[in-house]
Structure 1
Amino acid sequence: MFGVLQDAGTVAHGALTTLTEADFESPPSGAKSEENLAAAFRQLDAIVGLGSVKTFVRQLAAQMQLNAERREAGMKAAADTSLHMMFVGNPGTGKTSVARIVAAIYKAMGLLRLGHLVEVDRSALVAGYAGQTAIKTRQLVESALGGMLFVDEAYAIVTDERDHFGREALDTLIKCTEDFRDDLVVVLAGYPDEMKRLAASNPGIRSRFATTISFPDYTAEELMAITDAQLADEQLVIALEARASLGSIFRAMVAVRDRECGNGRAVRNLLERAKREQALRLVGLPGKKSKEQLMLLLADDFAPVLGELGLAGR
């Protein structure tokens, strides 16, 4: 592309609007691909918990690699498996993070050209008037070519039997999974029960999304590990009393097991609230704050949440 700027003369319009093969980066060498693959698996291993998910992803990658080696050896490979998948689990269980890593793994293995992730939901796919939903959906699919399209809350694309726009979006999406099957991976994500109903109600989904990865809720210990990682990333520490308070909060979350809370998203929200309490506490102190004061979260910073959960004094 930049080559057209080297000539000081007139440049044809076509040269400015046409991308050729030379404009794209060359595919990574074998050594670079191995390095990228190893880096992606390190990212996967660094995620807290999700042992069953990590194992499943490694199995998928191993199966794809073995199929390629069998074909190279002139042997019959296993029947081609659709790369499209369903990720089922409650919010905050790492579905989007794992999707990005899987896209990177597939790129390193040569299964995807670009390995980028495009995240959408119903609002991005459905237009407000007749005839435009299919166009809008296809444009989004095309923006994901060479990578992965991650459809969050996929069960909400069609709200009910009268939702013609949602049905048009879903039908278009399913057709695109076949039209672009060699240049696209689609992941449908959402709550377990709703995703089961979606698959049961649509034969096209059942046949094209044969692989389902289930994301379990986090344990109280895993929530604490996620907290420690976020604290380290933000250069924060918690006092021992605050750590005990957090343990009580996480155990209460796990016991209730509300699908709207108790996972990674809840940890982020909890820390954001504690930081606001810390800020309010510190601004009331005279003089310049020490580095230790700026870093330290106290039990008092978590007290409001403890009170709301009925855990005050524990």
Structure 2
Amino acid sequence: MWKYVLLGLVILGAAHNNNEETTGCLDNGTLQISDTPEELLKAKLDALIGLKNVKKQVNDLVNFVKVQKLKKERNLPCFPISLHMVFSGNPGTGKTIVARILSQYFYRIGLCKKQVFIEVDRACIVQKYIGHTEARVKELFDKARGGVLFIDEAYALVTDSDKDFGQRAIDTIVKLLEDDKDETIVIVAGYPDKMTAFLDSNPGLKSRFPFRIAFEDYDEKELYQIFCHMANEYNLRASKQCEKLFYDLLKKLGVCTQAFGNARGVRNIFEKAVLIQANRVAGMTSPTNEDLINITPDDLKCLLDIPVQAKIERKIGFEANMQLINNTAQKSASRTRKKRVETKCS
């Protein structure tokens, strides 16, 4: 019996290990990769679910780079290429995966000398003692030299405290952007409103980030596509009847709020659905292959019955989470059995 529950846990473990890929929300289509860097980039971007405006903005950027590179090769006057970028958007909108795709593209066309992508946040940058933060920033630039340095939640470096070294990190970043010139491409990312505060924190920041790409939130249909992609990635399948219940679940969770987290919020739903599905299958005497791979409407109904706060907050702990899911699934199974009995009697 427990082997089916363990199967669910194994799937969740694999999902966590591949979180970066699934958060990128790749579509289910097969990529047809050509030899040219531009078509390779387009194929990877087209494989991402949604992000219509992002794809348009990236295409504009690529056209600019392509023309400037062509002019340079022909010894014609060209506009100086400074590819430092600001990615603004809510969590789970694909900022990191788009940054990785661009990093690969810049390497293929020769703008990056190395295929290096360093991803950091405030915790990786700001140190406890005087002078250590500046040294840490220089160390990160050295590691990323010739490639791309991606600073996630860059706005967190901005604080009102005189005792905090976040501002020193920002000032050092500005200096290194000038000193390193084209050696390292820096991409900073974060919430739209907070990134404005970040760019205002040093007079030299705005001018050093000429490209701004805005990542919009996913709509309900795109979020359901992401859910189905996650299921398909782990050889699971959501039945057609799940779609309406998924939308009901989004409304209950407050899909329009920052707390939901776009693709990250969908991952939370998916993980809990897998646990509920495993719990349901574990109670079967002889489950079929279809039982093992199908996420059913009943599984999502269980999620609708779980209190909203428990679904949003992942800090409630694994044991408490499992107990909550088990109790909800048992109530749902009891209602299903009761309906079957009533149907037979009528």
Q: Is TM more than 0.5 here? A: yes
Report the counterpart of residue 130 of structure 2 in structure 1: 130
Kindly provide the amino acid, as one letter, of the partner of residue 144 in structure 1: A
Q: Which residue of 1 aligns with 2:314?
A: none
Equivalent in the alignment of 1:279 = 278
Could you say what secondary structure the match of 2:49 adopts?
coil
Task: Answer whether contact 1:37 1:108 (CA < 8 A) is retained.
Answer: no
CA contact (8 A) 1:141 1:149 kept: yes
Alignment match of 2:295 (pick from 290, 294, 297): 297
**Structure 2 residue matching 1:240: 3-state secondary structure:** coil
* Correspondence 1:1-314 to 2 at 5 A: 34-78=35-79, 80-251=80-251, 256-287=255-286, 289-307=287-305, 308=307
Residue 132 (structure 1) shift? 1.1
Structure 1 unaligned blocks of 5 or more = 1-31
Is the 1:34–1:108 contact (alpha carbons within 8 Å) kept by the matching residues of 2?
Answer: no
Deviation string 1:11-40 (CA, Å, 9 cap, x unpaired) is xxxxxxxxxxxxxxxxxxxxx994444323
CA contact (8 A) 1:49 1:218 kept: yes
User: Alignment partner of 1:203: what SS?
Assistant: coil
Q: Secondary structure of the equivalent of 1:97?
A: helix
Looking at structure 2, the residues matched to 181 and 44 of structure 1 have their Cα atoms a distance apart, in angstroms, of 28
CA distance in 2, matches of 1:208, 1:53: 21
Aligned-partner residue type, residue 292 of structure 1: E
Instruction: Verify the 8 A CA contact 1:239 1:298 in the aligned structure 2.
Output: yes
> Counterparts of 2:218 and 2:179 in 1: how far apart (Å)?
37
* TM-score (norm. length: structure 1): 0.82
Q: Which of the pair has the greater relative contact order for Cα pairs under 8 Å at 6+ separation?
A: 2
Which amino acid is 2:123 matched to? Answer: S
Of stretches 118-127 and 154-163 in structure 1, the one that deviates more from structure 2 is 154-163
Q: Which amino acid aligns with 2:52?
A: G
Among all aligned residue pairs of Structure 1 and Structure 2, give the percentage whose two residues are the same amino acid.
37
Using the alignment, how far apart are the partners of 2:151 and 2:181 within structure 1? 16
Is contact 1:250–1:262 with CA below 8 Å preserved after alignment? no
Alpha-carbon distance, 1:260 to partner: 2.3
Equivalent-residue separation in structure 1 for 2:36 and 2:252 (angstroms): 42
Figure out how many residues of one structure are paired with residues of the other and give that number. Answer: 278
Deviation at 1:145, TM superposition (A): 1.3
Post-superposition offset of 1:304 = 3.7
- Asked whether the equivalents of residues 68 and 81 of structure 2 are also in contact (C-alpha less than 8 Å), the reply is no
- TM-score normalised by length of structure 2: 0.75
Please tell me the root mean square deviation across aligned C-alpha atoms, in Å.
2.3
- Partner of 2:150, secondary structure, is strand
Change over 3 Å in CA distance of 1:271–1:33 after alignment to 2 = closer
CA distance in 1: counterparts of 2:163 and 2:212, whole angstroms: 26
Instruction: Tell me, yes or no, if the aligned pair for 1:117 and 1:148 is still in contact at 8 Å.
Output: yes
- Does the CA contact (< 8 Å) of 1:41 and 1:105 recur in 2? no
1:211 maps to a residue whose letter is: F
SS in 2 for 1:259: coil
